[in-house]
Amino acid sequence: MRKFLVALAVLLIVYVAADIGARFWAQAWVGGQFQRSLHLSKSASVSFGGILFIPEVASGHIPSATVHAASFSSEGVRFQSATLDLRDIRFSPSQLFLSKHTGSIRARSGDGSVAMTGADITTALQRQGVNVTVQVADGRVNVSGGGIPGTLTVKPSIEGHALVLAAGGVSLSLNLPEVVPGVAYRDVRIDGDVGELLFTVSHVVFVVPGRPDGPFGSGRIRVETRSKLREQKRGRPRRWGMKVERKISVARPPAEVFAHIADVRNDPSWHTDVLEVHSSTDVVEMGTVFDVRVKPSMGVSEGTMTVSRFEPGRLIEFQGRMGRMAPTVTNMCEPDAQGTLVTRRVEINPPGIMRVMSPLIASKIGKSNDGFLANLKRLLEGSGS
């Protein structure tokens, strides 16, 4: 009996040690995935809820997890830190123990916060063309410059996807990035010399591409909301099938550059594949449909581009329909040292047998967009001079 109890105690110690080891290993692995996803300089720290880890992993269900990242940028906006608490997490156990780079991790709900200093807010506002200085200290937010007489104490609040600083007839708005797709900013809290932006997420799915370092992905975790996954199941094009992104700096103000690239009717002046364009509206807005005639390619010479996302002065997204192809094209403008950093992103999921040509298609799109952006730079800088 004594030997049995000793053996049982040894087995229990080994099991607990294995459980602790598995927990630490899994936390390190998941942290590395977030590091690649968010382009962090170091791995994000991850901790799991629950008492014993191995039984939870075997069932593919973890009650909760907390992710913390320090000092990172998203869409040109810098944050001191971010914390995300996820609940009711489900996954395939083989993903974790075999270190697979495929599959998905699902979370039913979550909430979190991102932290910014006054310097972070100042830099972000100035990048968006608002020349003010923001100071956060002793639980208060003060604004100066930009035509404001003296120093003004403002009240921070959240309106949609923007941080608003308002008082005495002055109102400043900072467009906030989607640190996680589908994020809903809820409130702002000032704690000493840091502002915390509180947010929630719902039914988030972290999708890991099958080829982490190839033409179909860049080693980043793709994050999709449940509604987007439903669209994929209904047979709609998967927007993350292939992505090609190109950037260029243009020595002109962001507002001027954005006004030109947001209106597809201007495309023939720099996008040499576009021959003729007609618009459903006089002013570009959400839902505007552009009828486009292009140089014949693979039997296609016309199609439509519909505005599906519109952030005036910063970002415009088009849902295209060109024959069997359904590309998503995104144009973004951000202030930089030369004037404006223009980003053009094309996302497409080639249908049928054309998928085997994806590497060739991606290469052609990349080279073409390099040329289109070079044309845009020459055109706008030439008109400016």
Q: Is residue 350 part of a domain?
A: yes
* 281 and 359 assigned to the same domain: yes
Residues 179, 270: one domain? no
User: Are the beta carbons of 174 and 197 closer than 8 angstroms?
Assistant: no
Kindly state whether residue 87 falls inside one of the protein's structural domains. Answer: yes
Q: Per DSSP, what are the bridge partners of residue 329?
A: 318, 346
**Same domain for 362 and 222:** no
> What is the spatial distance between Cα 329 and Cα 357, in angstroms, rounded to a whole number?
20
Tokens standing for 75?
């869409």
Measured CA to CA, the distance from residue 62 to residue 64 in angstroms comes to 6
Return the pLDDT at 300.
Answer: 74
Are 274 and 152 in the same domain? no
What are the tokens at 186? 């809820």
- Asked if residue 158 and residue 114 are part of one domain, the reply reads yes
Cβ atoms within 10 Å of 274's Cβ, excluding its own? 20
- Pick from 218, 236, 254: which residue ends a domain? 236
CATH number of the domain residue 341 falls in = 3.30.530.20
| 126 and 270 in a common domain | no
Contact 143, 134 (CB under 8 A): yes
- Examine residue 199 and state whether it is found in any structural domain, yes or no: yes
Among residues 206, 236, 266, which one ends one of the domains? Answer: 236
Do 297 and 371 lie in one domain? The reply is: yes
Joined tokens for residue 246: 């190109």
Count the neighbouring beta carbons within 10 Å of the beta carbon of residue 107: 22
How crowded is the C-beta side of 44, counted as CA atoms within 13 Å?
23
> Does residue 281 sit in the same domain as residue 364?
yes
SS3 362: helix
Whole-angstrom distance, CA of residue 100 vs CA of residue 208? 9
pLDDT of the residue at 222: 42
- Cα separation, 177 vs 197, in Å, equals 12
Low-confidence spans in the chain with pLDDT less than 70: 1-60, 91-105, 181, 205-241, 298-299, 352-356, 383-385
pLDDT for 350 equals 77
Residues 219 and 95 in one domain: yes
Count of structural domains, the chain: 2
pLDDT of residue 230: 52
Residues 6+ apart with CB under 8 A from 124: 76, 77, 78, 116, 174
Task: Write down the pLDDT at residue 167.
Answer: 85
Last residue of a domain, one of 236, 261, 277: 236
Asked whether residue 129 falls in the same domain as residue 192, the answer is yes
Same domain, 211 and 249: no
Residue 6 placed within a domain:
no
Asked, for residue 93, whether it belongs to a domain, the answer is yes
Cut 0.85: pTM above it: no
Whole-angstrom Cα distance, residue 45 to residue 306?
A: 40
Residues 227, 313, single domain; the answer is: no
pLDDT digits (tens, 9 = 90+) for 301-310: 889 999 999 9
Q: CA distances (Å), 69 to each of 80, 163, 231, 341, in order?
A: 9, 21, 31, 26
What pLDDT sits at residue 353? 62
Give helix then strand counts, H and E, for the chain.
7, 19
pLDDT of residue 221: 38
> Which residue range(s) make up the domain with 378?
240-384
**pLDDT tens-digit series, residues 89-103:** 776 666 554 444 445
- What is residue 47's predicted lDDT score, i.e. its pLDDT? 60
Asked if 294 and 273 count as a contact pair (C-beta separation under 8 A), the reply is: yes
